[in-house]
Structure 1
Amino acid sequence: MRNIAMVVSYDGGAYQGFQSQPSGLTVQDELEKAIRRLSGQDVRLDGSGRTDAGVHAQGQVINFLSTSPIPVERWAIAMNGWLPHDIVVRSAHEMPEAFSSRKSAIRKTYRYSISTGKHPNVFNRRFRYHHYNPLDVEAMRVGIRHLLGEHDFSSFTSAGSTKKSHVRTVYEVRIERDGPDIHLFITGNGFLYNMVRIVVGTLLWVGEGKWKPDCIGPILAARDRSKAGPRAEAHGLVLWEVRYPEPFQMILDNDPASSLWP
């Protein structure tokens, strides 16, 4: 039995999230359908993260077990021939038996993108939350510093969270400007349900001047969802990158692909 891993990018706008569910079309459904058409096998794949409806990915990592003799270097091109245009397999790799795209992950990075200005950009509006009014980016940068380190993020998760513990560690968080666009990058050992979107919604209130930058600390300490800001729209969020322990990461990096993301 072979353990096949793939790095996948997708525009999540048309899907009810990554994970297969009875209520609608998902990215997992389309990937498993393509594998079935290609190999003749029914597989149940696993993903590094369960992105919500409307959320995108540049570097989603999946893995599945297969007895197919298809050479690993042919999987990506062959899969892309069967997949819809909004899902792309960037690379495929044969992994050790112990590798799990979900359980082996040690770091995940998300990017949330905001466009500012009077009019949205028609060419990237599917991947940006458009904010009509100016934002105080420096105030937002001050606010996000409070997120660094290990915290209980109960204030930044929706009521539907099923995790036993809400303690997570944020390793890095930064805001980059690119003309009218603002990109928030946040890297941690894991993320709760809607965590990044609630963080962004809270930072937007900081950027608008409704709340002071130092509000983030007390919100964390409260461990109460009602103390944080609103949940930002899904379409600005991208699962940017997933990292693994060195033996696994070396294999995944062996066939690097340039960013496909606008």
Structure 2
Amino acid sequence: MTVLQSFRTALRIVTDTPVLVAFALAFGVITALNNASGSAGAVGSILQLFALPALTGAFYTVIDGARPGSDTDLRASTAAQRYYVSLLGATLLAGLVVLVVAMVVLGGLIGSLGFDRVTAVLNGSASLTLVELAAAGVAFAVFAAVVYVFTFFDTAVVLDGKTAAGSLSRSVDFVFGNLRQVVGYAVVATVATSVVDLPVLWFVTLDGATTVAGAVAAFQAPMSAVDIAVVAVGSTVTTLVGRSYKVCFYRACADDPRGSKPESADGEWTA
């Protein structure tokens, strides 16, 4: 019940709290600029690193305060300042973790396929076999699973007041303490955001590429102003729904007396 009830609560909050659209739009614009090239991409990268922590603290606080029965009365501007350092530090630490995991997984994949083979696939002179495609899929699944363990670091900072290092540890405890619910949350969140994310990724970012080489070339090509705008709108929608859901889900599990205990992983998450 927690998974679906939290999603319904998030949708209710989104429709009843119009100010959230402004926060989500800011996220969307920064994300779009970060995906662009040249000076726009540089600006987006800077904002992604230094502006998002303040925006996240304010955004999550407003979402939390809009939940039914919430007793949160912290102002968004105060939250942006209070959690900034911890969120910035946690973002850097989480980025380092992702980088290390990516290097290990990618290194293992290249080692199994062979560097020359990977190079041939990327430059378009060869195609992946079914076995190689399956190996790449397994590698991606492992990477995603490991990274997902740390995905709740930002909610741990804002909703639990954790420090940068403590937020990553709290995220790990939260995931394994609510494992079945988190799996359900991941499925619902992925499906809900993919409705918008996948078409934008396919038709805009990857320009409808049907080969690995084509996808790499499209990803490296400069984005037009129209493409940036489309990515910004898409990211705004997924941010609005996805992050609202994340806060509601985290609160629901954390408020559950069983939420921090490993045995809560045996609880039901289906409705």
Give the TM-score taking structure 1 as reference length. Answer: 0.27
- Structure number with greater CO (CA < 8 Å, separation at least 6) is 2
Higher strand share: 1
- Higher share of residues assigned helix: 2
